[in-house]
């Protein structure tokens, strides 16, 4: 013996290391999914309630005339898609140059970009519904939708809802979570 002690850990078998790696990756995945769900929940809840109220209003008015409305499953799916799309747009840091502008300017810019994203999704959804008939049939159906008053009333509602959403999120970011909660809820 030379008197030197080794600081290296004792050798291990390959089994323990191999089983620990997937667990840690799986744990990180669940942690990341949890963070994403917590981040997405307020936006999804806002749009789910808003779209549900819009659907309820449409159903009440249109059923008198025998016109079918959007099923509840599409409201759920649509609110999830819109919430995730808007969170993705926010993650791009597209509005970084406008951070120091007044809340109304930043909110109007965000509303415009959000509306473009939603318009793209509406067009894509129509194309997907007509995927068997082809691109031209889907585009023609979307053009028919653009010509209807119902479509534009929904777009106006979306603009108002998107503005409220972006203004509220911008105010929360500027004031901080605690202060915003105290001002808004009182606690």
Q: In the chain, where are the structural domains located?
A: 22-176
Q: How many CB atoms lie within 10 A of CB 124?
A: 13
Helix axes 103-129 and 135-146, enclosed angle (nearest 10): 130
pTM: 0.70
Check residue 160 and give its pLDDT.
92
Check residue 163 and give its pLDDT.
93
Check residue 164 and give its pLDDT.
92
**DSSP string over 85-132:** HHHHHHHTTTTGGGTTS-HHHHHHHHHHHHHHHHHHHHHHHHHHHTTT
- Which positions of the chain have pLDDT values less than 50? 18, 20-21
């Amino acid at each position: 013996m030379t008197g030197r002690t080794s600081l290296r850990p004792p050798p291990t078998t390959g089994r323990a290391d191999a089983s620990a790696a997937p667990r840690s990756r799986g744990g990180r995945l669940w942690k990341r999914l949890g963070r994403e769900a917590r981040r997405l929940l307020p936006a999804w809840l806002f749009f789910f309630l808003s779209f549900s109220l819009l659907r309820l209003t449409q159903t009440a008015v249109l059923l008198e005339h025998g016109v079918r409305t959007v099923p509840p499953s599409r409201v759920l799916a649509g609110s999830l898609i819109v919430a995730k799309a808007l969170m993705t747009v926010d993650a791009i840091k597209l509005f970084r140059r406008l951070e120091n502008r007044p809340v109304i300017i930043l909110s109007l810019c965000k509303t415009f970009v959000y509306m473009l994203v939603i318009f793209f999704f509406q067009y894509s959804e129509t194309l997907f519904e007509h995927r068997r008939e082809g691109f031209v049939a889907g585009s023609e159906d979307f053009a028919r939708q653009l010509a209807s008053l119902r479509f534009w009333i929904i777009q106006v509602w979306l603009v108002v809802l998107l503005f409220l959403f972006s203004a509220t999120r911008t105010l929360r970011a500027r004031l901080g979570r605690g202060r915003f909660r105290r001002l808004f809820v009182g606690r």
